[in-house]
Amino acid sequence: MGEAQQQGDKGILGMVAATLVSRSVINTCNRFIYPFAPVISRGLSVPLTAVTSVIAINQATSLLGLFTSPLGDRTGYRRMMVTGLLALIAGMMLAGALPFYYSLMVAMFLSGLCKSLFDPAIQAYVGKRVSYRRRGLVVGILEISWSVATLVGIPCLGLLIDRFGWRSPFFALGGLAAISLALVVHYIKDDSQEETVVRKKRGTIRSLTALLNNRKALGVVGVGFLMGAANDNLFVIYGAWLERSFDMSVVALGLGTGVIGVAELCGSSFTAAFSDRLGIRRSVAWGISLCALSYLLIPRAGHSLSLSLAGLFAVFLFYEQSIVAFISLCTELLPGARATMMSLLIASAGLGRVAGALSGGMVWQALGMETVCVISSLLTFGALGFLLWGTKGWTPE
């Protein structure tokens, strides 16, 4: 029994390590365009709004997860991860080799597609192999990949851009994605031959239809959409806002983004360390509430760079803490269709981010930063309402 437990722990450790590296690369690919949007727009000689539109396309790919992720429940989760990483490698190399606007569009589409394939698959994989009592710990560790992307990946890419030009990050990220693929193939068990509940009972469309008639699933959709819209409503313009308000260079933008990385590291670490003890649902509710209030701190910063960064820190600290705990919660709401449930969360959050990416730039240019933050705060409070409604009376099996 002890030996079997040891082997199981080693398998989990290998999976966690491979996944942490892979998701750090994937998240960096999907996130670095935000702070460097002004630089990329100048490099391509297109307006800033053209680059923020590419961000919206990147987020829209999450809707494809509604149709691809249920395949993981029936054909195996590792296949979805491998397919996603192959798409990511192709996209990054394309954008680096062909410096055109439409190449960037294709690259960010493939980058978003990778995320919509990989994330539901690995979260469902963890849901099958890790007990709910340890779920918050393992998911919290995996979600540290967001802070690694922001704290390490983006500052390093800022230095690359400063030294070698705006195309260099695409080549670097393509190489790192290839390394991630090798790690996944080596450390993630091939589960394509395993039987699952969804494989036996229903196909993709019927699975989605059943979920959309379920109050818990509708609550997940509401939380995902409103949290995603609120976050990207601010996120798409924060780089341009910092550059305009404080005359920050590209290197300073990359390093300044490290503040968000530290916040996300703290949020993921808090979830990993305490959410299982506090109760995952309670942890989500408190995190969403404090995130909504934190948006309102940013307009109060005035022209102080340190206070502005402190406001961003608070927003991303509580956003990360709440969303990581919410992922842990979603892996248990419907245990028989974990990947399908996670695809609903990612698709709704992605659709929300599309709305936020499209609105953020226009609202900021027309009405200013204070309006951007007020809108994000109201959307986040709406997400709290969906959480309480969707999980009312629910207890884990």
DSSP letter for each residue of 156-220:
HHHHHHHHH-TTHHHHHHHHHHHHHHHHHHHHS---TT---HHHHH--HHHHHHHHHT-HHHHHH
pLDDT of residue 369: 84
Rg of the chain over CA atoms, in angstroms? 20
The four Cα atoms 86, 88, 93, 94 give a dihedral, to 10 degrees, of: 100
Contacts (Cβ under 8 Å, ≥6 apart) of 27 = 115, 145, 146, 148, 149, 150, 153
What is the predicted pLDDT for the residue at 198?
Answer: 45
CB 395 within 8 A of CB 270: no
pLDDT at 192: 65
Whole-structure pTM value: 0.70
State both tokens at 180. Answer: 């991630």
Q: Quick one: pLDDT at residue 250? A: 66
Q: What is the pLDDT of residue 124?
A: 78
Inter-residue contact 319 to 231 (CB < 8 Å): yes
CATH topology of domain 10-188+202-390: Growth Hormone; Chain: A; (1.20.1250)
Residue with tokens 């722990």: 9
pLDDT at 87: 94
What stretches in the chain show pLDDT beneath 50? 1-10, 195-201
pLDDT digits (tens, 9 = 90+) for 319-332: 988 988 888 888 77
Per-residue pLDDT at 270: 80
Domain ranges of the chain: 10-188+202-390
User: Of the candidates 256, 266, 306, 259, which has an alpha carbon nearest to the alpha carbon of residue 290?
Assistant: 266
Closest-CA residue to 23 (of 139, 143, 137, 133): 143
Distance CA 130, CA 396 (A): 14
